[in-house]
Amino acid sequence: MKKDVRYRVAEIIDKGLLHGVLVINNEFKSVFINDALCNMWHISEEEFINKSILDIFYNGNKKKSCGSYQGPLIETMDTGEQFSACEVYLNMPSQEGKWFLVSTFLLRDENGLPEFAVGNYIMIDKFKMFENKLNVVNMNIIKAFCKAIGVRDLYTMQHSENVAALIVGLTEYMKLPASEVTMAYLAGIVHDVGKIGISEEILNKPSRLTDVEYEVIKRHPSKGADILKEVEEFATLAEIVRHHHERYDGKGYPSGLQGENIPWISRMLTICDAYDAMTSLRCYCEPHSVEEALIEIESCAGKQFDPSISNVFIDFIRECNGDLGLNAVIST
Ligand SMILES: [Fe+2]
């Protein structure tokens, strides 16, 4: 039974759709949980597997006292309705609750009856922390962008949350004013929004990109900026996003800006972006250790990266021992 579930889940993962994964059967018992979700929930597979998630989380009740379901995975198993990227606050046994972006899928048996429900979980705690710092309309626009990125390419969604957590940590470490921290956070979240227009074959290609494919990828900062600048209040954000792949030595793209001509939040973003890409597990390369990534940043200071921001970033990561609670990105 378990092998069968793993095989079917692996099929979905192979389509690049999932991160933290939980599968329950029609008795609401967990039959599969992956390492990424065990890490996010601070539990071991042994203490979770073959147990009812209703008993673990909700005293055996499928629904709350108000009549709504406890969570989307339970609702999917009970009604067959599937959910795409909905925000859910999950209470954890013996720890603080956390916000997740949850998508669910129903697997049916050969007779068409519901057999398993699969939940995909992305932690969005930082995102929720900043939610009240924007007006409702702008927040909804940012959320729409996030969902668009997440639905197309979950690496980008998870990477965006990680980059946002890094840049917030860095700006707070530098004791910047709250308005700069918020702007940096938003830049982290939406910096790759221009990837919406790029095909999944290129985004999820398991091997090295061809020159032509790389040219397509290189268009994403300008595309992202063009999308963002449609909203008047996002003009500054759009320019930060436009220049997040510039290099300090002027050899970057799209404009070949050099040194301090590059917006300074873009210069911070470049370092956070590179650090997360180096330390996260992606489908086509092994992750670097924290120390290896810092050595790489140090060696590229003055070339790819702003040297003074690089120094501060390295101090910041060493001081927090690389422990920022970032989400691991699982490999296919
Ligand atoms: Fe990018």
pLDDT digits (tens, 9 = 90+) for 99-140: 888 889 999 988 989 999 999 888 777 667 777 666 667 777
Distance 193 CA to ligand 1 centre (A): 8
Nearby residues of 112 by Cβ (< 8 Å), 6 or more positions away: none
CA 111 to ligand 1 centroid distance, Å? 45
pLDDT for position 322: 53
Distance (angstroms) between ligand 1 centre and the Cα of 88 equals: 27
Residues 277-329 pLDDT 10s:
888 766 456 677 889 999 999 999 999 999 999 999 999 999 876 555 554 44
**What is the pLDDT, as a whole number, of residue 242?**
97
220 CA from centroid of ligand 1 (Å)? 7
Q: Which residue has the higher pLDDT, 118 or 200?
A: 118
For ligand 1, the distance from its centroid to the CA atom of residue 217, given in whole angstroms, is 8
Distance 69 CA to ligand 1 centre (A): 38
Calculate how far, in angstroms, residue 122's C-alpha sits from the geometric centre of ligand 1. 20
Residue 206 Cα to ligand 1 midpoint, Å, equals 18
Cα(202) to centroid(ligand 1), Å: 14
Q: Which residue has the higher pLDDT, 267 or 56?
A: 267
Residue 1 — very low, low, confident or very high, per pLDDT cuts 50/70/90? very low
The CA 191 to ligand 1 mean position distance, Å, reads: 6
How much distance in Å is there from the Cα of 81 to the middle of ligand 1? 34
| Residue-range domain boundaries for the chain | 2-123, 126-319
The two structure tokens encoding residue 251 = 């050899």
Residue 331 has pLDDT above 50, yes or no: no
The CATH class given to the 2-123 domain equals alpha beta
At 15 the pLDDT is: 42
CA distances from 314 to 31, 290, 309, 322 (A): 41, 10, 9, 10
Average pLDDT over residues 253-265: 96
What separation in Å is there between the alpha carbon of 329 and the centre of ligand 1? Answer: 17
Q: Span 249-262, mean pLDDT?
A: 96
Amino acid 273 reads: D
Whether 2-123 shares its CATH topology with 126-319 is answered no
- Calculate how far, in angstroms, residue 269's C-alpha sits from the geometric centre of ligand 1: 9
Pairing of strands 114-123, 95-108: antiparallel
141-155, 234-248, 274-288: segment of lowest average pLDDT: 141-155
Q: Which chain residues have CB less than 5 Å from ligand 1, an ion?
A: 192
CA of residue 219 to ligand 1 center, whole Å: 9
Q: Give the per-residue pLDDT at 18.
A: 43
Q: What confidence category does residue 249 fall into, taking pLDDT thresholds of 50, 70 and 90? A: very high
Alpha helices in the chain (DSSP H): 2-14, 35-41, 45-48, 53-58, 72-79, 125-131, 136-152, 154-173, 178-190, 200-203, 211-217, 220-228, 235-242, 264-279, 290-300, 307-319
The CATH number, out of the four listed (1.10.3210.10, 3.40.50.300, 1.10.10.10, 1.10.1040.10), of the domain defined by the range 126-319: 1.10.3210.10
Å from CA of 190 to ligand 1 middle: 9
| pLDDT tens digits, 43-70 | 888 888 999 999 988 889 999 889 999 8
- Range in 3-7, 106-110, 241-245 the model is least confident about: 3-7
